Amino acid sequence: KLPTMKMLLLLVALLSSALLASSAPPTCYSRVLSLSKEITESFKELQTSKTVDSCVQTLPRLYLDIHNYCILAKLRDFVAYPGCDRVVEVNELKEKARSLYTILISYCRRDLVFLTDDCNALEIPISSPIEHS
């Protein structure tokens, strides 16, 4: 009977630790990382969409790397860009970029470490290994 009780307690402990791990709140880093990926993907979709206004082609490039200090200037430039104000998708993207900028400079200011300040790296789309397959 004792081995059964140990197994049952072990099972309960494993299940409760798995539940706690999956319900942990997102960290500042994970929030910034997911939002930057979401913005980059939305920008790619916007650039390739056939139904969007031609002004979209004139928007500044928006390839984001939260480890690059130049992301702050990139986001400021994108949000301040005067073109395409009549395009709803662009306004939504600018709002997300503004949110990311605010999170970076306010909430996560002390939590993030920038590994580079190579502004040219943010001009070139980074393709993931999955895209090459």
pLDDT for 74-127, tens place per residue?
A: 999 999 998 788 888 999 999 999 999 999 988 887 777 788 888 888 877 655
Listed residue (74, 88, 82) closest to 42, CA to CA: 88
pLDDT attached to residue 50: 80
User: At 2, is the pLDDT very low, low, confident or very high (cuts 50, 70, 90)?
Assistant: low
* Greater model confidence, 124 or 133: 124
18-71 confidence digits (pLDDT tens): 555 555 456 888 889 999 999 999 999 988 888 778 888 888 888 888 888 999
Which residues on adjacent β-strands are paired with residue 68? 116
Residue 109: the pLDDT is 74
Helices (H), 1-133: 2-22, 28-48, 71-80, 88-102, 129-132
Return the pLDDT at 71: 92
- Under 8 Å between Cβ of 87 and 56: yes
Identify the pLDDT of residue 125.
60
pLDDT of residue 91: 92
